[in-house]
Amino acid sequence: MSSSRFLLHLTIFLLIFHQNFCFPSKQTLFLPLKTTLGRPPLTFAPNSKLYASAGATTNKLGFHHNVTLTVSLSVGSPPQNVTMVLDTGSELSWLHCKKTPNLTSTFAPELSNSYSPIPCASSVCKTRTQDLPIPASCDPKNQLCHVAVSYADASSIEGTLAYENFVIGSSTRPGFLLGCMDSGFSSNSDEDSKTTGLMGMNRGSLSFVSQMGFPKFSYCISGFDSSGVLLLGDASFSWLKTLNYTPLIQVSDPLPYFDRVAYTVQLEGIQVGNKMLDLPRSVFLPDHTGAGQTMVDSGTQFTFLMGPVYTALRTEFSQQTRGVLRVLEDPNFVFQGAMDLCYQINESAGTSFSNLPRVSLMFEGAEMSVSGERLLYRVPDMNKGSDSVYCFTFGNSDLLGIEAFVIGNHHQQNVWMEFDLVKSRVGFAETRCDLAGQRLGLDL
């Protein structure tokens, strides 16, 4: 769960190629997405046949989004229906296990025959939780393994580590380690109350993708209509452009401000239009404390840059759009606490962002370009006279108190994103994500 999340509704249909949950490289879960934004669809269709084995079975999982990405599945024996936030920026998967007045969905461990809490003296409690930012401990009764997690938006949750069965379609994955949470604080309780928990997808040993044994996963979020696709496992397609890969950064020694299980890449420079920002490479490198790492996070909506880099980008983008965009003259307005470059735009005259300068993020071996309407985001329910208010979709990490660069999902639209866990790399390729479902033969 991240400080910013995008308004998105997703429906997932899982095509499961094999019935076990240890996925060698040639076994893949295809998860088509349908998305609906809280604005006219700008963001996350004749069908070709899916290249699957003859014995492939089809199961369906509901996947939707309000403020957070959520997946619907079943947990426990007998199965209980739950909805979980899908978050590539987190490790521990967890469920609300205590009913409160504001929770509409909880998991009842006492009704499950397969629920098994982990004793605090267990080696599992001591070793399997080593990647968690907050060390596991004993509960107040000194009996069970106590886990706690906190997020950049100040939300936190805590409870008991336990084994439980995950049921996805017609397949059951026994002995999955998750948190059964009974207390916490949410910075957005209205939205968080609509889900049962969270599914962590980072590189930690307890994450969903690690426990399930997927060698890689990919997703593609449309910037044009309500379609998209998410794949768990290995896959290649003739219609997909060649991916440009950048290595994941590995740090062996613990550093106070470096998340070792995040999807960390190396940002090397930023170009606005045809002009590279005049910045030394050192400003993009993590320092001796680990501050300044660059994380690719599908759970964060926008992209946040460390102060000096953000200031340079803000200055150059403002210079190149002078006379094209009308700046919002309100020094007290900062969108989402970190985005202080906003504009007044008269939509009645028709809005086109095609003449804005492209912003390109340069990585080692790969490049991500942001252009057109992805550069600006309309602030919901805010107007300045007859004008709408739009803000630049890059923010200042310093204003959020985050010691990192974060590449959010808004700038990953119409980019095929592949996370290769075996070769420790991330691949990018620009593509029409709205056509991905059609090409995979899925009826969206």
Which residues carry out catalysis?
87, 297
**3-class secondary-structure state, position 20:** coil
Pairing of strands 303-305, 394-396: parallel
The answer to whether the beta carbons of residues 8 and 35 sit under 8 Å apart is yes
How many Cβ atoms sit within 10 Å of the Cβ of residue 253? 7
> What kind and span of H or E run contains 97?
none
How many Cβ atoms sit within 10 Å of the Cβ of residue 77? 16
Q: Which two structure tokens, joined as six digits, stand for 171?
A: 């397949």
CA 27 vs. chain centroid, Å, equals 23
Q: Which two structure tokens, joined as six digits, stand for 285?
A: 């490198």
**Largest Cα–Cα distance in the chain?**
67
Ordered strands of the 264-265 beta sheet:
264-265, 293-296, 404-407, 303-305, 394-396
10 Å CB burial of residue 268 (0-12, 13-18, 19+) is middle
How many Cβ atoms sit within 10 Å of the Cβ of residue 135? 11
